[in-house]
Amino acid sequence: MKTVREQQQKAKAPPRYDGTCRELSREESDRRVAAGEPFVIRFKTPKDGSTTIRDELRGDITVENTTIDDYIIVKTDGLALYHLAAMVDDHEMGITHVLRGSEWLGTFPLHALIIRAFGWPEPKWCHLSVFLKPTGKGKMSKRDVTSEQSIYALELREMGYLPEAINSWTALMGASFGAEEELLDLAGMTERFKIANLNPSPARVNFEKLDDFNGKWIRRLDITDLSGRLLPFFAKAGIQADPALLQRIVPLIQPRLVTLDDAVDFAGLFFREVPASPAEALTPKGLTAAQALGALEAAHALIRASEGFTTEALEPPLRALAETLGLKPGQLFGIIRQAVTGQPVSPPLFESMEIIGREVVVERLERAEATLRGA
């Protein structure tokens, strides 16, 4: 067999069985089996004519029988290959529709031939397009573990993608469900699913769209549900988030999340010590440290004196203060934000302060003032 292969390669012919034992008589083969010779069983493909098979997406496909090899169907160890096993299996299970990847298109004629040889009714066949890597170069493969392009669905979950988002996203690659809404849950998809809406051409995987879908799904979740899903991600980051507190924070970060993972970045400040900010960070550009300090002290006085510690109570006076100081609201709020949250970017300031609480807010304001005085 080895020498045959080499000759075929030299002749630039496709590697295939040379038919040595094709015409062996039943008696002869029985004798040799009885004699203990190792053997395989091949499918004896017709030598002439052609085979026409129907794919529900592509219509009839006709191939010359000469291009179909005498495939091995049972191995030397007596085990059936997929080609035989799957056909028998499907038949035994009464399968009516076979939807599988288009990588099976090449052996599709063989499979049909096997079924016809048994005299069994043929199921309907439909070959789905493969997913291409984001680069468009080659197909996405679950076996290509070494490639950084390959990824497991489970990893996606660990990265903070919702099962709902992953489902609706993958479903939309290589298919459509009839316009109106792209974000479909399983029930919506099964309701609308039609083989005719599948696309036969390969689809490139688009992770940007996954991000978009994930954000939209996150925004659809109710607060309790989302809070519950966030807990494991805080835990993974070493934060034991108090569920009740988290419930109050979630509305602030919900519209900001792309992945569940992001919550730790956005809400971490509510659960751990925030480091003191350097004077530069506390000083908006265009202002001096002294000006920032003055603004902060004035804000501090208002906050300390404020009757309630809610957004409703805090925002109006501070907004008025900005005007009095001749600052844009964003400038004043930016200083406070940095002082209180330790970050230039944070969830909405007043709502955040409300959650952090007066005592801690005042502490942090004082700390920031000290920093600015030393500048």
Q: Report if residue 76 touches RNA, rule: CB under 7 A.
A: yes
Residue 18 or 370: which CB sits closer to RNA? 18
Q: How many residues bind RNA (CB under 7 A)?
A: 74
Q: Give residues 7-36 in contact with RNA (rule: CB under 7 A).
A: 12, 14-16
Neighbours of 315 (CB within 10 A): 17
* Selected binder of RNA within 56, 70, 122, 351 (CB under 7 A): 351
Q: Alpha-carbon distance 352 to 20, whole Å?
A: 81
Token couple for 202: 């390969």
Residue 100 or 358: which CB sits closer to RNA? 100
Q: Report if residue 369 touches RNA, rule: CB under 7 A.
A: no
Residue 206 CA neighbour count, 13 Å, CB half: 13
Q: Which of these is catalytic: 12, 142, 209, 216?
A: 142
**Sequence letter at residue 370:** A
Q: Alpha-carbon distance 287 to 289, whole Å?
A: 7
Q: Report if residue 308 touches RNA, rule: CB under 7 A.
A: no
Angle between helix 207-220 and 163-172 (nearest 10) = 130
142 labelled catalytic: yes
Q: Give residues 109-168 in contact with RNA (rule: CB under 7 A).
A: 129-130, 132, 136-139
* Selected binder of RNA within 19, 46, 106, 278 (CB under 7 A): 106
Q: Give residues 281-300 in contact with RNA (rule: CB under 7 A).
A: none
Residue 76 or 224: which CB sits closer to RNA? 76
* Selected binder of RNA within 113, 173, 274, 339 (CB under 7 A): 173
Q: Report if residue 95 touches RNA, rule: CB under 7 A.
A: no
Q: Report if residue 324 touches RNA, rule: CB under 7 A.
A: no
Q: Give residues 214-233 in contact with RNA (rule: CB under 7 A).
A: 215-216, 219
Which range touches RNA (CB under 7 A), out of 75-83, 152-160, 223-231, 274-282? 75-83
Active site residues: 142
